[in-house]
Amino acid sequence: MSKSLNLDEIIDRHGTDCVKWEYISNAEGFHHGDHAHPKHGDDRLLPMWVADMDFRVPKVVEDAIVARARHGIYGYTVPAQSYYDAVRGWFKRRHQWDVEQEWITLTPGVVPGIKIALHAYTKPGDKVIVQRPVYYPFSSSIEELDRELVVNALLYKNGRYYLDFDDLEEKASHPDTKMLIFCNPHNPVSRIWDEAELKRLGDICIKHNVIIFSDEIHCDLIFTGHHFRPMATISEEIAQICVVGTAPSKTFNLAGLSNSNIIIPNDDLRETYNMAKSRNGFWGTNLFGVEATKVAYNEGDEWLDEVMAYVEANYHFMKAYLAEHLPQVRVVEPEGTYLIWADFSAFEIDPDVRKKMMMEDAKVYLDDGAMFGPEGDHFERFNLACPRSILEEALGRIVRVFQKEAVTV
C-alpha cells in the first residue's frame, strides 16, 4: 500500500470544543482541564482517553463538508437514495453483508440508539445483560432507564478474553431477561468474536427470547490476520432477533457529526424501534453527518486501510516499548478497534492510587479500567489513534513513574 497521509502530523485541537483535548470527565460531568499543547515535551495532561482520532478525516470528506457548507442553507434533512446506496455499498464491500435499505434507521449516535432499543423492547425492572468489562454507557444506559443490569462477565484466561456461555445461558433463561447488549469488536478488550462464538451466543438468545443489540461500531477497525463477521450474517434466525448499531464515526473520525445507522432486519422489531424513536423525539438528521457518511463510505477505503496500518504499527511500538522498559505491564493482544487494554495487576497497586499516578504524576489521561466495571480494576485503556510521537511521550512518562514504583515494591 502506498502512503499518502501524514499521520505523524500533530494537529492542535485546542479551541475546537474538543472533548479529548480540552475536558476532563468525572462523576459531575465535563470540566475544562489543563491539557498539554499537543507538541512533544509539554508536561501538562496528555489525553489518550475518549475514543476519537487525532487524525484528519479523508480529504474527500473534508471537501464535501466545505462544499455543502458553502450552499449556505442548513434546513431539515432526510437522506436520499444516494445515502442508502453508500451505506449498503460499504457493508457489502467491506463485510459481505447484504443490508436491505428498509432495515436502516438513523439515530444521532449508537448510544442514543441503545437507549431507544431499551425503550422499545424493555420496561422498567426488566433484566438486560452486558458482558463486562465493557464500554461503560451500556451499564449506565440500563441503570438510568431503571432496567436491571445483569452482568455476564467475560472470562480472562492467559491474557485472552472469552465469553462465558454457561453463565450467559443461566442469565438469559430468567423470564425477566429481555435484551443483551453485545459488543463486537469488543471495547475495551479488543476481541473480535468468531463465527462459532457468535452462533453459540445467538442460539442461546433465540432459545430464551432475548433480543440482541449488537454494537458493531468498531467493525471496520480490524487488525491484520483477523476477520469481522456481522452478527446478523450468522444465520437468518439470528438476524431476526438482532438490532445492529453501526456508524461511520469511529471508522472515519466523524463522532462530532452525530450520525449512525441502526440496522434491523426483522419487520416487527423495526416497527417497534421506530415508534420508540419517534416517541423519544428523534426525527430528521444532521445534514453534515449525512454528507460525510456518503462520501466516507463511497470513497474512504484507502484512507481507512492506511490509518489502520498506522494504528497497528503504534501497537507494535507500544508493545516493544513496554517489553523493554516496563515488562510488568501485560498488553492484551488486540484484534480490532484502536483501543488497547493493558493489564497493570503485577504492580498490585490500588486502582485509585494508580489512576492518580497516571493523571497527576505521569500526566497521561487514560480511561482507567474500573470505568468498564470492577472486572477492569487492574487495567488501563489506551487510545492509539494518535501520532506516534504523542504515544511515545505518554509511554515515556508512564514508564518513569512506574519504574520508581517497581523499585519500591
User: Where does this chain bind ligand PLP (CB under 6 A)?
Assistant: 51, 109-111, 135, 183, 187, 215, 217, 247, 249, 255, 260
Residue 75 C-alpha cell reads as: 434546513
Long-range contacts of 347-353 (CB under 8 A, 24+ apart): 347/402, 347/405, 347/406, 347/409, 348/409, 349/405, 351/377, 351/378
Q: Which of 64, 106 has the CB closer to ligand PLP?
A: 106
Sign of CA pseudo-dihedral 151, 339, 259, 84: negative
Q: Which of 257, 329 has the CB closer to ligand PLP?
A: 257
Buried b (16+ CB within 10 A) or exposed e, 64-95: bbeebeeeeeeeeeebeeebbebbbebbeebb
Q: Which of 51, 205 has the CB closer to ligand PLP?
A: 51
Q: Cα separations (Å) of 351 from 76, 266, 343, 379? A: 47, 43, 12, 8
- Give CA–CA dist 7/56, Å, rounded: 8
Going by their DSSP bridges, the two strands 127-130 and 177-183 should be labelled as: parallel
Q: Which of 129, 326 has the CB closer to ligand PLP?
A: 129
Compute φ and ψ for 148, nearest 5 degrees: -95, 125
E strand map for 321-360 = 330-331, 339-343
The alpha carbon of residue 304 and the mean position of all alpha carbons in its chain are separated, in whole angstroms, by: 16
Q: Which of 211, 255 has the CB closer to ligand PLP?
A: 255
- Smallest gap, in angstroms, from Cβ of residue 173 to ligand PLP? 26
- Smallest gap, in angstroms, from Cβ of residue 345 to ligand PLP? 23
Residues with Cβ within 8 Å of 166's Cβ and at least 6 positions away in sequence, in order, are: none
- Smallest gap, in angstroms, from Cβ of residue 107 to ligand PLP? 8
Q: Which of 138, 303 has the CB closer to ligand PLP?
A: 138
- Give CA–CA dist 304/376, Å, rounded: 29
Q: Cα separations (Å) of 158 from 155, 187, 348, 381? A: 10, 19, 18, 18
Q: Which of 134, 390 has the CB closer to ligand PLP?
A: 134
Residue 210 near residue 246, CB atoms below 8 Å: no
Q: Which of 280, 345 has the CB closer to ligand PLP?
A: 280
Q: Which of 183, 395 has the CB closer to ligand PLP?
A: 183
Q: Residue 70 in 3-state DSSP?
A: helix
Sign of CA pseudo-dihedral 171, 172, 177, 182: positive
